[in-house]
Amino acid sequence: MQTRLLSIFLCYLFFINIGSLSAQSASIEGHITSSETNKAIQQVNIYLSKYEGSFSTGVATDENGYYRFEGLQKGRYELTLSAVGFKQEKREIKLQTSETKTIDLTLQPARYKLNEIIVSNSNRNASNTTTVQRIDAEDIKKVDLGTVADVARLLPAAHVATNSRGQTILYLRNSADRQTAQFFNGALINVPWDNRVDISFLPSSMLGGVTVSKGVPSVTYGANTIGGAVNFRAKSLPNDREKLTKLSVTGSMPGLGGASVVRMGQHNSLSYTAEVGYTKQYDYMLPDGATVPHSQPSDDRRVNTDKRNVNMFFEGTKRYQNGARLNASIFHVDAEKGVAPESNLDPEKTGVRYWRYPAIRQSMVIVNGLIPLNSDTHLRGAMWFNRYEQDIHQFQSVAYDTLDQTQDDLDLTGGLRLILDQELGKGNINVALNVLTTQHNQTIVPYSGGNAQGDSSDTYGQQIYSLGAEYSFPIAQDLSGMVGISYEGSAITNTGPWENEGYEHYLRSALSISGGLTYEISEQLRLRSSLGRKPRFPTMRELYGGALGKFVPNPNLKPVTAYLGELGIEWRGTAVSGSLTGFITRTYDAIDKKTFQQGPNTGKEQRINLDGSRVWGIESKFSAVPVTNLSIDGSITYMNKRGILQGEPRKLDEKPTWLGKLGITYDLTDRISILSQTEYTGGIYTRTEQNTFVLLPDALIFDGRLGYDLFPQHKTLEGSELFFRVNNITNDLRVLQLGLPGPGRKFLAGAKVQF
């Protein structure tokens, strides 16, 4: 399987050398500056493409912000400018024979948008020392009838898996569970009770972009971020439009489909985005080769995998003349879904989760803003309130007709992030405060003979905090550095019924430190490195949760301590770009699970501290635009991982060794576009009920999409299309956890209209 994947990548990489240039007499030149400082911006990537034909080329601005294209033909061109920390700009240019056209442009800073969590320095010579990657709106648009989970799968080294609770979780570089912070518009959306969020019920229709930071985490992200940070950003109005409406209708087989409406507009200094969507899916088809010996009455449909989702979102932004900005947003998701049972387990011998979620509701109110205190100092911040509610119904059998017990959860969370950005000497310092307080309410009702018995209700409470500073500074002309330190802690002050067992509270704190270097070898080539230490505190659910009898709580869990390192090299060309990054994470007191083999808890699981774990690997990423109508993006990640228990090595549960992704977009004509997506997963071991490990089969999944542009020459209706998509074209088996095969082949078709 690995040879097959490598062959596919080599075939597609062959196209990278395709290109053509013609020498002509016209030219374009100009100067690029920042709208905020009026200073020149170096290393701006400028891409020039001709509307007629396949001509394309690119340059980067020099150290004084100047650029020049020579040898151009007469015609109509599009100029695209992009630079780290600035908004992308596009310009249409009409060029005559022998003409020299001067195009001076100013770029708008994007570093102070609170819905971007990346640390961008005021000092442009101080680059990020960690891995930063993005998914833009155009890629998200092609995730039809999708969720945040489908978008996250596009990220290099990202592993998206659905666990036995039915939660779809994102892992970066084999980070352990609950180690990745996920934000929406700058506010943490993780539910602190378990420090996770099910990204399968958050729709992609309200997303305008994704940014991920891997490696040594910045102090601005707060606590519990060993695995990195991901920000999902809401849609925003394009710079060339004053208002825009987007309609999308999709049908699927198997399943029903969905629809969404997005309205965006602006008036003077006010702008807004509103979105509403609905999706409904029936049980998905089983792939070829699926082994489901238990709890699977149907031969073709995976039992209890239906879901329904309604979502609403609104955002308003006010900009002030002094550069200040105030943004308020609200979103609400109302969902229900089933949970596929673990079909490797015999219900006559062990407990099986026959679960349904009749209600999952998440509502968030987010307020963020930016205040310029003076020309060198900015204060940016966000505060939010998150209400998360879920009901779990556990049934006695796969018939799902007789209740065994229910659990109703209500989580109320408030958070605050403040970041003071100050130029200091030749460098830049960020001082960050993150505070979060949460309350978890839980009611369990057992059933007997179909009748509810006496309930039990418990309340838990926790505060999570961090205070730190990060300083970025130039060392030499092409060398910059970064150092950071923060004090982080977790205080569980309400332990529910465990207070009577002698566990009145759980108080832990630790220091987080980081440092890094960036060396600009040339305008296109950059070398970076970073090292750091970061803690991760156990969640309330890990300490005290029983999961309706599935787990035995362990209130004596210790915090995880991780030491992280990263060394990467990046090539930033206009036609071809790529990166190669080596990384390592060594944890102590890593949290894992075991299954009791005897005694009163036989068959139940418990979370335990390992001596530690170690993951090292290499992540490679490349992208190419060999000609204007062809783009290629891909990544391959190798990860060597192991756990350590009582001084002996052991395998890590459900962590892949290989992750490979390839996306190819080809514009066949000015109306027809073709998208091919490939994802490979291999080398996953999973733990059995006997605490042994078995190797899961490798998986190679192909998806395809055909789009037809309805109005290619109509400015107002630009972007409207008909589409047809097939997911898992070959109906291959993908198993990421024992007894839980992924979905088989799925067909989707629909229309998207914008005006």
Q: Give tens-digit pLDDT for 39-87.
A: 888 778 888 877 665 566 778 888 788 998 887 878 888 888 887 667 7
pLDDT in tens, 328-355: 999 999 999 999 999 999 999 888 999 9
C-alpha closest to that of 110 among 29, 14, 246, 209: 209
State the pLDDT at residue 287.
96
Q: What is the pLDDT of residues 249-295, one digit of tens each?
A: 999 998 889 999 999 999 888 999 999 999 999 999 999 999 999 99
Q: Distance (Å, rounded) from C-alpha 413 to C-alpha 208?
A: 25
pLDDT of residue 115: 53
Segment 123-168, tens digit of pLDDT? 443 467 889 888 888 888 888 888 999 999 999 999 999 999 999 9
Domain 131-294+302-375+416-452+464-754 has CATH 1.10.3720.10: no
Q: Are the C-beta atoms of 234 and 185 separated by less than 8 Å?
A: yes
Q: Which two tokens stand for residue 59?
A: 């340059």
Question: What number is the average pLDDT over the span 433-460?
Answer: 93
**Alpha helices (H) along 26-69:** none
> Which residues have CB under 8 Å from 170's CB, separation 6+?
149, 152, 158, 159, 160, 180, 182, 199, 230
Residue 539, both tokens:
């969640």
- Say what the pLDDT of residue 19 is: 34
CB of 61 closer than 8 Å to CB of 32: yes
Q: How many whole angstroms separate alpha carbon 373 and alpha carbon 617?
A: 43
What is the domain partition of the chain in residue ranges? 19-107, 131-294+302-375+416-452+464-754
The pLDDT of residue 629: 87
Give the tokens for residue 148.
Answer: 């945040």
- Where does the pLDDT of residue 414 fall: very low under 50, low under 70, confident under 90, or very high at 90 and above? very high
Q: For the purposes of burial, counting CB atoms within 10 Å of the CB of 7, is it exposed (0-12), middle (13-18) or buried (19 or more)?
A: exposed
Q: Return the amino acid letter for 214.
A: K
Mean pLDDT value of segment 477-484: 93
**Does pLDDT of 613 surpass 80?**
yes
pLDDT(548) > 80 = no
* The predicted structure's pLDDT at residue 151: 93
What is the pLDDT confidence band of residue 461, given thresholds at 50, 70 and 90? very high
On the question of pLDDT at 527 being above 90, the answer is yes
pLDDT at residue 25, as a whole number: 64
At which residue do the structure tokens 């209890």 appear?
Answer: 304
* 117: pLDDT strictly greater than 50: no
Percent over 90 (pLDDT), the chain: 62
Residue 695 in 3-state DSSP? strand
CA dist 271 → 212, 325, 471 (Å): 26, 11, 34
Domain 19-107 matches domain 131-294+302-375+416-452+464-754 at the CATH topology level: no
Measuring CA to CA, how many Å separate 106 from each of 37, 82, 291, 546? 10, 11, 59, 57
What average pLDDT is seen over the chain?
A: 88
* Measured distance between the N- and C-terminal CA atoms of the chain, rounded to whole angstroms: 45
Range with the poorest average pLDDT among 45-49, 210-214, 385-389, 735-739: 45-49
Say which residue the tokens 């390192």 belong to.
565
Alpha-carbon Rg for the chain, nearest whole angstrom, is 26
Q: Are 722 and 708 in contact (CB under 8 A)?
A: yes
| Cβ atoms < 10 Å from Cβ of 607 | 20
Q: Which of the four pLDDT bands, split at 50, 70 and 90, describes residue 14? A: very low
How far apart (Å, rounded) are the C-alpha atoms in residues 720 and 244? 12
H/E run at residue 735: none
AA letter at 330: I
The fold of the 19-107 domain, in CATH, is Immunoglobulin-like (2.60.40)
At 598, list the tokens.
Answer: 């005897």
The CB-side HSE value for 262 (13 A sphere, CA atoms) comes to 22
* Long-range CB pairs of 254-263, under 8 A, 24+ apart, other chains included: 254/282, 254/283, 254/284, 254/285, 254/301, 254/746, 255/280, 255/281, 255/282, 255/284, 255/746, 256/280, 256/281, 256/282, 257/145, 257/748, 257/750, 258/145, 258/309, 260/203, 260/205, 262/205, 262/206, 262/235
**What is the C-alpha to C-alpha distance for residues 369 and 378, in angstroms, rounded to an integer?**
10
Instruction: Fill in the DSSP letter of residue 43.
Output: S
Q: Model confidence over 634-680: pLDDT tens digits?
A: 999 999 999 998 888 989 999 999 999 999 999 999 899 999 999 99
Residue closest to 239 by CA, chosen among 50, 104, 110, 48: 110
d(CA 339, CA 496): 28
- Burial class from Cβ neighbours inside 10 Å (0-12, 13-18, 19+) for residue 23 reads exposed
Instruction: For residue 583, give the amino acid letter.
Output: F
Residue given tokens 């970061």 in the structure block: 534
- CA 108 – CA 111 distance, rounded (Å): 9
pLDDT range class, residue 94, cuts 50, 70, 90: confident
β strands within 521-590, DSSP E: 525-536, 560-572, 576-588
CB 471 within 8 A of CB 484: yes
Q: pLDDT by residue (tens digit) across 490-523?
A: 999 999 999 988 898 999 999 999 999 999 998 7
**Mean pLDDT (whole number) for 563-573:** 93
Place of tokens 């890094």: 516
- At 54 the pLDDT is 52
Strands, E, within 235-324: which ranges? 243-253, 257-267, 270-281, 307-319
